[in-house]
C-alpha cells in the first residue's frame, strides 16, 4: 500500500506543467518531482527524432517498465504532456492544465517552436486532446481540469492539489482504518 499518492500534471506544452510540479514539491516536500523529459534523457529512452516537429520520440514501453517501480512506491508528481500511458492502477490524480489560446499562443511563440509543432500544440489545446485522452484513460473521478493563465491560478491550483493530497493521505492511512 502506497503512503503517498501519484499525481500526473499534464497539458499542452506551455500550460504550466513544470511550474506547477515544481511548486507542488515545494508545498509537499515528501513528494518527488519526475520530469518525464529529463527522465527520458537520463535513461536514454529516446527512440528517434521527428525533424518536422523538432521533437524527440520516446520508447514508451521502456519508459513504463523503468518508472513502474517508482510509481508502485508512490509519492510521485509526474510532469509530461502525455498522460494515457501510465497504469491506471498506479495513478491517483490526473491534473490537466489548460490555458487561454491567447496566452498559449504567446508562450509557444516565445519558445520559438517550428511552425508544425506550434500549430499542432495550438490545435491540441483548442480540441482538448489531452483532456479527452485523460478522461478516456482514467476514471473520470480522478481527472480534474484546471486553468493556468497566471501566477494566481498557479498558486490556487497548487493549494487545491495539496489539499487533495492531504485528504488522500488521511483516507489511505492504514492506521486509521
HEC letters along 118-144: HHHHHHHHHCCHHHHHHHHHCCHHHEE
What pLDDT, on the 0 to 100 scale, is given for residue 176? Answer: 52
Residue bearing cell 479527452? 132
Q: Where are the domains of the chain?
A: 7-154
Sheet-wide strand order for 7-11: 32-35, 76-79, 7-11, 93-98, 143-147
Give the residue among 138, 53, 54, 132 at the shortest CA–CA distance from 98: 132
- Tell me the pLDDT of the chain (177 aa) as tens digits: 899 999 999 999 999 999 999 999 999 999 999 999 999 999 999 888 888 777 888 999 999 999 999 999 999 999 999 999 999 999 999 999 999 999 999 999 999 988 888 999 999 999 999 999 999 999 999 999 999 999 999 999 999 999 999 999 999 987 654
Q: Taking a C-beta distance cutoff of 8 angstroms, is the pair 11, 98 a contact?
A: yes
Phi, psi of 38 (to 5 degrees): -70, -40
Residue 77 host element (H or E): strand 76-79
Task: Tell me how far apart the alpha carbons of residues 177 and 175 are, in angstroms, rounded to a whole number.
Answer: 6
Q: Using CA of residue 42, residue 136, residue 103, residue 17, what is the dihedral sign?
A: negative
Question: Phi/psi zone of residue 131: left (φ > 0), alpha (ψ -120 to 50 degrees), beta?
Answer: alpha
Q: pTM of the entire structure?
A: 0.93
For the chain, the C-alpha Rg in angstroms (whole number) is 16
pLDDT for 147 equals 97
State residue 175's pLDDT score: 65
CATH hierarchy code of domain 7-154 = 3.40.50.300
How is residue 148 written as a grid cell? Answer: 493556468
Amino acid at each position: 500500500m502506497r503512503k503517498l499518492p501519484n499525481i500526473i500534471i499534464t497539458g499542452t506544452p506551455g500550460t504550466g506543467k513544470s511550474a506547477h510540479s515544481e511548486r507542488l514539491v515545494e508545498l509537499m516536500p515528501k513528494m518527488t518531482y519526475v520530469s518525464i523529459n529529463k527522465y527520458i534523457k537520463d535513461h536514454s529512452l529516446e527512440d528517434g527524432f521527428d525533424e518536422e516537429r523538432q521533437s524527440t520520440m520516446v520508447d514508451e514501453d521502456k519508459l513504463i517498465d523503468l518508472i513502474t517501480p517508482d510509481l508502485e512506491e508512490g509519492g510521485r508528481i509526474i510532469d509530461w504532456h502525455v498522460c494515457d500511458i501510465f497504469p491506471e492502477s498506479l495513478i491517483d490524480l490526473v491534473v490537466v492544465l489548460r490555458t487561454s489560446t491567447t496566452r498559449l499562443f504567446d508562450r509557444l511563440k516565445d519558445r520559438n517552436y517550428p511552425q508544425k509543432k506550434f500549430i499542432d500544440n495550438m490545435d491540441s489545446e483548442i480540441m482538448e486532446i489531452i483532456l479527452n485522452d485523460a478522461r478516456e484513460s482514467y476514471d473520470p473521478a480522478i481527472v480534474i481540469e484546471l486553468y493556468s493563465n497566471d501566477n494566481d491560478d498557479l498558486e490556487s491550483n497548487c493549494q487545491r492539489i495539496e489539499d487533495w493530497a492531504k485528504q488522500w493521505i488521511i483516507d489511505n492511512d492504514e492506521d486509521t482504518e
